[in-house]
């Protein structure tokens, strides 16, 4: 199960891929982390899917990460008397709080009083994934009067997006809270939070999670962009949710925002996942379009930690082919002559801490001396993430006694995770690192490896030591 690529792959599980045999096929094809979408999964399905992933993990003897993606608030208009209406540009249309009346071509019930209270005159309201656009002309008395800017067919329970409005509600609904507790009970490795608007949304979830899983913020709202740096600092990872971003922001801004988020996450040492429509045509076709291949390759060239498949692997006709294609694109990009120069050009200066300085030095030493691998001992995962932040052109092996840590690191760029007992001494640490580098196929007798750790051993987050060791004929090491 050793990967020859650094970028990781997230695959969403669903009707086309929830069986254990298919999960195993996807893992063998290249999936490093599996996403369970709580918009569609019941608690029973969640536990069943986690059990199947863990069975595959045990069989393959390779750590697999699990991400539970929380649904977030779903803002929708209510029903129409005729099932749908046709709105024409320039006409007036009202969204109100008249619950008992069916909608018509002039008005519809909006079952979200927080929207009616928050929208200001001039704010845009996007309906049905942005296909229709309204502009608020008058607000008050439990209603929003609007002018239709872009018309079209509007049917029952279509979604409402508010690119100009900051809603007072938090990102966590009652359903999300129940799903989050169930996901923690199932011991998932990551939880993704939808509808993030402000740093406080992350703080609220952290209070519940209490370190039992990594907290991933999905950036899909313009309001989150305005406070991006604060949100990145508070999160354990970031997902660039380009689908919703593309609805609420001008589409032409999304590629630049993607690049900005990837660079910011690298600067702060936070894993970043690029998601949505990466190989969309493979839902119904066995091969992607040229544009989709280019899209995936750009994310890999920029140094994203992971790229994600949604419907392609969850409900598409070719889930294994989609994962395999994504893996092949990543391998081709990382083999490109320009790859290392592009990655290095986006390098950021290390923070003024011993841990960051050691990680930066380790990369330079490994590349200058042409070492076989970088081996990091990591209790909490922070040492491994620091090593990956440097984007070395040498393999990174993360060793940890904590199974949860190595599963969580499965989303991080370039890290090959191995569970092992904690070293009892410096000599044991060197031997263990060399033996594992040899056994996992990264180093041969006579090769040298770099070893980083925190001393005293087992101290979380205290990377303060760098050793260079020779791999002996028996696979053990000497420094």
CA distance 308 to 323: 9
Element (H, E) at 234: helix 228-234
Residue 88, classified by CB atoms within 10 Å of its CB into exposed (0-12), middle (13-18) or buried (19+), is: exposed
C-alpha R_g of the chain: 24
Element (H, E) at 306: strand 306-309
| Strand extents, DSSP E, 346-471 | 373-377, 396-400, 415-419, 448-454, 463-471
Residue 76 annotated in active site: yes
Catalytic-role residue among 5, 35, 198, 266: 35
Residue 131 annotated in active site: no
Element (H, E) at 146: strand 143-150
CA distance 301 to 242: 17
How long, in residues, is the chain?
Answer: 479
Residue tagged 């059990």 (tokens): 51
Catalytic-role residue among 49, 146, 165, 276: 276
Spatial contact of 147 and 87, defined as CB atoms under 8 Å apart: no
Catalytic-role residue among 76, 79, 175, 472: 76
Residue 276 annotated in active site: yes
Spatial contact of 410 and 65, defined as CB atoms under 8 Å apart: yes
CA distance 102 to 215: 40
Residue 207 annotated in active site: no
In 3D space, the residue among 245, 265, 267 whose CA is nearest the CA of residue 255 turns out to be 245
CA distance 365 to 343: 18
Q: Which two tokens stand for residue 84?
A: 């749908």
In 3D space, the residue among 374, 386, 342 whose CA is nearest the CA of residue 449 turns out to be 374
Compute, in degrees rounded to 10, the torsion defined by CA atoms 44, 316, 76, 168: 70
Q: Can you say whether the dihedral through the CA atoms of 171, 177, 181, 183 is positive or negative?
A: negative
Catalytic-role residue among 5, 8, 124, 218: 218
Spatial contact of 84 and 154, defined as CB atoms under 8 Å apart: yes
Q: Which two tokens stand for residue 55?
A: 């069975």
DSSP-assigned letters across all residues of 104-124 = -SSEEE---HHHHHH--TT-E
Q: Which whole-number Å values give the CA distances from 422 to 62, 183, 378, 446, 458, in the listed order?
A: 19, 28, 9, 25, 7
Spatial contact of 128 and 143, defined as CB atoms under 8 Å apart: no
CA distance 313 to 10: 10
Q: CA 403 from chain center: how many Å?
A: 20
Q: CA 61 from chain center: how many Å?
A: 24
Q: Looking at the annotation, which residues are catalytic?
A: 35, 76, 218, 276
């Amino acid at each position: 199960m050793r990967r020859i690529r650094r970028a990781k792959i997230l695959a969403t599980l669903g009707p086309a891929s929830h069986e254990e045999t298919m999960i195993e096929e996807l893992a063998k094809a290249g999936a490093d982390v599996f996403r369970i979408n709580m918009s569609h999964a019941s608690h029973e399905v969640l536990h069943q899917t986690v059990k199947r992933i863990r069975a595959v993990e045990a069989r393959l003897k390779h750590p697999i990460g699990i991400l539970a993606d929380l649904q977030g608030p779903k803002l929708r208009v209510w029903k129409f008397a005729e099932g749908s209406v046709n709105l024409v540009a320039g006409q007036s249309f009202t969204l109100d709080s008249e619950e008992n009346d069916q909608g018509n071509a002039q008005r519809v019930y909006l079952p979200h009083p927080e929207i009616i209270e928050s929208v200001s005159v001039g704010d845009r309201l996007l309906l049905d994934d942005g296909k229709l656009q309204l502009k608020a002309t008058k607000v008050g008395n439990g209603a929003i009067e609007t002018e239709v800017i872009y018309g079209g067919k509007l049917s029952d329970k279509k979604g409402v997006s508010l690119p100009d409005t900051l809603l007072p509600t938090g990102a966590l609904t009652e359903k999300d809270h129940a799903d989050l507790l169930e996901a923690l009970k199932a011991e998932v490795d990551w939880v993704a939070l939808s509808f993030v608007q402000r740093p406080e949304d992350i703080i609220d979830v952290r209070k519940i999670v209490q370190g039992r899983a990594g907290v991933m913020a999905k950036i899909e709202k313009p309001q989150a962009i305005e406070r991006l740096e604060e949100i990145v600092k508070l999160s354990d990872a970031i997902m660039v949710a380009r689908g919703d971003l593309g609805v609420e922001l001008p589409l032409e801004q999304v590629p630049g925002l993607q690049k900005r988020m990837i660079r910011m996450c690298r600067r702060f040492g936070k894993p970043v996942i690029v998601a949505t429509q990466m190989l969309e045509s493979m839902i119904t076709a066995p091969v992607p379009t040229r544009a989709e291949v280019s899209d995936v390759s750009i994310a890999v060239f920029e140094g994203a930690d992971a790229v994600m498949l949604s419907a392609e692997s969850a409900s598409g006709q070719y889930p294994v082919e989609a994962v395999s294609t994504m893996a092949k694109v990543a391998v081709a990009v990382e083999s490109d002559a320009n790859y290392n120069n592009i990655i290095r050009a986006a390098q950021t200066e290390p923070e003024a801490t011993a841990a960051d300085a050691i990680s930066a030095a380790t990369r330079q030493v490994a590349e200058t001396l042409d070492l076989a691998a970088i081996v990091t001992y990591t209790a909490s995962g922070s040492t491994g993430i620091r090593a990956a932040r440097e984007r070395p052109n040498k393999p990174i092996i993360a060793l940890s006694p904590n199974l949860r840590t190595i599963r969580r690191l499965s989303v991080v760029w370039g890290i090959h995770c191995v569970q092992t007992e904690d070293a009892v001494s410096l000599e044991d640490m060197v031997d263990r690192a060399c033996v594992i580098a040899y056994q996992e196929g990264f180093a041969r007798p006579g090769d040298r490896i770099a070893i980083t750790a925190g001393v005293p051993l087992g101290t979380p987050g205290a990377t303060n030591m760098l050793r260079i060791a020779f791999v002996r004929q028996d696979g053990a090491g000497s420094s």
